[in-house]
Structure 1
């Protein structure tokens, strides 16, 4: 049965979470770690609830570099265990967990200095390949193909054949290696919906505003406020897991003053460039003085990023500045003959990395903070997990649930998520053959087939069912033709979209793929979504006005030189669904 998250299932979940039975585990935070923790707990047979104060993946987990990677750069810091762990998780995602969402991606590492640079780079990439092979040995029941091809060396001529837009004067040769890319927001959505299929209760726009304690001081649940209606629910839980990323300390403040995990927010910015502006058949991996820069090919565009700068602004609205854009373009143009300008930018996004803050963090740049994760007890009955990266979400989630349960219970109900495929992963090959057969009847070419399979996997059959009921859904959106009308319907009927921005930001990605951030497609999207959501004219108007205001704030911020100036512009746009201020009130 296809798991559907809807307005109705959300309301029912909040009611069920607050019933007398209570939960075994309450997860706070609907990013990739929280979604992973909910799936981990649910598949152990625990009664599980997960709440998110915004939309799924609305924070860091929809604003990453969209890479599943071992972290080549961490080899330079001798973080061998971290790299080994991440490479194993990469293999699991490629082979078992989400092969429809996670795809192998070749990268070219340009070399400037002959012999010496190639020698030490080859050693680094060779170690990377060896660790990948060791970590992805086929286990009983695994699919073949968890690994990726090994490194390959090219001279200057060969490198330019692979990537004609590399500057020849900046190149003596190159090494090709593999990692993987992912639609990060859809990975989170897949985790949540899979957790729901195993009995988890899930609700967005549901904010934890108080932590409940018993007379001994043990955490026994939380007060959850439905931000859509204003209703409050007392959710009792034996264990509470805080997976709120850059909001970790704010959530912990509801429990205790001081203590817990400290997290440093670091801003990363990415630019979206049209596919025809850069001539190349692989991605690029570039080392800069400050960090690394990726040039990543997607189906219809390139993504270039990232930056790594401390962020002290509002956690909900990190924003790209003119200085960020200039930096990324400058670094890219050092190696690209494309001579990219601001006129080439289709879209941008800015995200915040939740980095664990060591005692000496104030003396370091954020780029040097370790990416390893930590789980800690905030108070009896409540733990926090923070740090890590997108690739290792499953390990973070497993460790958080293990820690919350304690050694005895964790051994009794061990994690099994390395064997759990997400929705859309089972029957992927058969679904691809089916879609290839029926696609011509709808006028879909191979490009469209790839698009649908890489987003929905074996759930494409459900999209076809929706089209059979309404043939107009087979047509592309007029002003966003990369997407079909049926994808809007699916976003509402199966993927829990409650607002216009949910569809355009986290289900269809139009927000950063179109120069107008999807504004011209709004009317058509609403024509499909409104009958399914039951909005009246006032609600439609409010949704559109909020989206327009958000876009105006982002555009104004991108014209400013500093974070402070950009924040001032962005915060002029009021949120349609405001987040409640937290109150450190502990009730028994």
Structure 2
């Protein structure tokens, strides 16, 4: 069992960032990764694991963009089966099994999804069919057969137990998928594991231009620096066109609402309600450990240039989410029940055959990713959080081929992230279960830094904030509250937490 401290070499401390900055300026490296989201962090890890020298440059913070605005799911792609994309569904199921079994079993847990008959018997029958097809796909990939329970029909008593807020006395169908404790925590774990493998991780570093092998960077203190790269990996998601203007993207906004779990009877399963008029799109009420439920997901086209600021749900999206889930609830939710909301932009790739105009059917665009070469820049874009590792593997394959060095095969399917361990070992970690579910084997180190709550009535601790600064690269209040502990998802709680975060930063930096 690992000791109580952070994994050696994986500490993203203020001192480590300063040393990385000194080493990066004027350096020549094999791979420069631009973008500190899940794809960029995954690519940095893959490249470092193959013996390449790596620098990751992120303009803001780890997981500052789309990667922290997901539904926090590691899913097997039932929707892709509905669109006939069997290959994408198998890839999703395979990568889910890798995450749950090897890469991050501490961050991913099985979650039941319930489609009640109250949503219509046609809906629950389709869910049963789709779930069984998903079970068959899962059984066909390595490690998939035993990773989740099978789809089954349940009676009224089970519906009432799993989702107490559902009206009527009908049964329903339960299928299973994976749920992340926190999408941003996955990105931080990837970045720290890459750092342990020798990658230099520099946040607050915006890439302004790539000129041949020269990468020009502006730091958030206004200082400029340059370095030379054998290959530049553009993993900037919806902002990919800034380094690769020829990539054709159709961003889509996915929005979620945050509501108290008590308003839905404190469900233990994800309540799943079909969007009216669709057989492949659902609204999910996803239970969270903090006594909250995330209600999502929308799929709205986003025209025009992509802004740097975080997107927000529109009034129409809020109404759509509430109206859809209210179809099956005894006590309908109102806007007054919404204590927070968030939205992210999916970088959907427009196929080359799509003509000149993007149209607006983003829900029907494939979630396949694109790998494109533009001179020294390799752009990897599209896909989804679940398949980040496969995307990273493909782009590093291309980098290795171009460089003529580095291991030809990726080892990341067999590489646990910091904090990861088999479930039996995690069960023996001497720390609060909530911390184990977020930090894995490092939970004792986090617990030792302080157990007092950041905000009364919430579970997050001051020790987590201290650990975020000392080991996870946090440098600001936003880094702490919006990306390391996620209190920021409830604005009223965030306001109360700001003074505590400021005190921690003043003491630690």
Q: Same fold (TM over 0.5)?
A: yes
- Distance in 1, matches of 2:447 and 2:359, equals 56
Deviation at 1:412, TM superposition (A): 4.4
In the alignment, structure 1 residue 292 sits paired with structure 2 residue 282: yes
Tell me the equivalent position of 1:577. none
Deviation at 1:75, TM superposition (A): 1.1
- Distance in 2, matches of 1:523 and 1:65, equals 29
Deviation at 1:51, TM superposition (A): 0.6
Deviation at 1:110, TM superposition (A): 2.4
- Distance in 2, matches of 1:184 and 1:113, equals 29
Tell me the equivalent position of 1:243. 235
Asked if 2 retains the 8 angstrom alpha-carbon contact of 1:346 and 1:515, the reply is yes
What whole-Å deviation, never above 9, does each CA across 1:149-208 have from its counterpart, x for those lacking one? Answer: 00111244543343232122xx85321111011110000000000000000000111000
Deviation at 1:486, TM superposition (A): 0.7
Over 3 Å counting, the alpha-carbon distance change for 1:7 and 1:335 in structure 2 is: same
Deviation at 1:81, TM superposition (A): 0.6
Tell me the equivalent position of 1:396. 391
Tell me the equivalent position of 1:355. 348
Q: Residue 105 of structure 2: SS of its match in structure 1?
A: coil
Deviation at 1:129, TM superposition (A): 0.4
- Distance in 1, matches of 2:176 and 2:423, equals 22
- Distance in 2, matches of 1:517 and 1:378, equals 45
Tell me the equivalent position of 1:173. 171
Name which of 406, 410, 413 aligns with 1:415: 410
After alignment, is 45-54 or 119-128 more displaced? 119-128
In the alignment, structure 1 residue 486 sits paired with structure 2 residue 424: no
Asked if 1 retains the 8 angstrom alpha-carbon contact of 2:57 and 2:205, the reply is yes
- Distance in 2, matches of 1:84 and 1:122, equals 19
Name which of 433, 445, 469 aligns with 1:450: 433
- Distance in 2, matches of 1:113 and 1:187, equals 33
Tell me the equivalent position of 2:4. none
How many residues are aligned here? 491
Tell me the equivalent position of 1:11. 18
Name which of 256, 262, 270 aligns with 2:256: 270
Asked if 1 retains the 8 angstrom alpha-carbon contact of 2:106 and 2:426, the reply is no
Deviation at 1:119, TM superposition (A): 5.0
Deviation at 1:60, TM superposition (A): 0.5
Deviation at 1:520, TM superposition (A): 1.2
Q: Which has the higher contact order (CA 8 A, sep 6+)?
A: 2
- Distance in 1, matches of 2:121 and 2:321, equals 29
After alignment, is 70-79 or 290-299 more displaced? 290-299
Q: Residue 474 of structure 1: SS of its match in structure 2?
A: coil
Question: What residue ranges of structure 2 are gaps of 5+ in the alignment?
Answer: 1-6
Q: Residue 482 of structure 1: SS of its match in structure 2?
A: coil
Over 3 Å counting, the alpha-carbon distance change for 1:232 and 1:148 in structure 2 is: same
Deviation at 1:301, TM superposition (A): 1.1
Name which of 45, 50, 58 aligns with 1:39: 45
In the alignment, structure 1 residue 232 sits paired with structure 2 residue 236: no
Q: Residue 502 of structure 2: SS of its match in structure 1?
A: helix
Asked if 2 retains the 8 angstrom alpha-carbon contact of 1:248 and 1:262, the reply is no
Q: How does 1:38-57 map to 2 (within 5 A)?
A: 38-57=44-63
What whole-Å deviation, never above 9, does each CA across 1:225-272 have from its counterpart, x for those lacking one? Answer: 111x2111211111111000000111224xxxxx3x211111111111
Deviation at 1:310, TM superposition (A): 1.2
Question: What residue ranges of structure 1 are gaps of 5+ in the alignment?
Answer: 139-144, 214-219, 254-258, 437-448, 468-472, 534-588
Deviation at 1:382, TM superposition (A): 1.6
- Distance in 1, matches of 2:299 and 2:126, equals 25
Asked if 2 retains the 8 angstrom alpha-carbon contact of 1:26 and 1:221, the reply is no
- Distance in 2, matches of 1:426 and 1:158, equals 32
Asked if 2 retains the 8 angstrom alpha-carbon contact of 1:136 and 1:147, the reply is no
Name which of 299, 302, 309 aligns with 1:316: 309
Over 3 Å counting, the alpha-carbon distance change for 1:62 and 1:118 in structure 2 is: closer
Q: Residue 363 of structure 1: SS of its match in structure 2?
A: coil
Q: How does 1:400-549 map to 2 (within 5 A)?
A: 400-406=395-401, 409=404, 412-426=407-421, 429-430=424-425, 432-435=427-430, 449-465=432-448, 467=449, 473-479=450-456, 481-512=458-489, 514-533=490-509
- Distance in 2, matches of 1:387 and 1:397, equals 12
After alignment, is 319-328 or 147-156 more displaced? 319-328
Deviation at 1:415, TM superposition (A): 0.6
Deviation at 1:39, TM superposition (A): 0.3
- Distance in 1, matches of 2:126 and 2:476, equals 51
Name which of 92, 95, 117 aligns with 1:86: 92
Deviation at 1:480, TM superposition (A): 5.8
Tell me the equivalent position of 1:304. 295
User: Which is greater in Rg?
Assistant: 1
Q: Residue 476 of structure 1: SS of its match in structure 2?
A: coil
Q: Residue 55 of structure 1: SS of its match in structure 2?
A: coil
- Distance in 2, matches of 1:427 and 1:178, equals 20
Deviation at 1:528, TM superposition (A): 2.1
Normalising to structure 2: TM-score of the pair? 0.91
Deviation at 1:524, TM superposition (A): 1.9
Deviation at 1:333, TM superposition (A): 0.6
Tell me the equivalent position of 2:336. 343
Q: Which runs of 4+ in 1 moved over 3 A?
A: 111-121, 155-158, 407-412, 426-432, 478-481
Deviation at 1:435, TM superposition (A): 1.8
Deviation at 1:434, TM superposition (A): 3.9
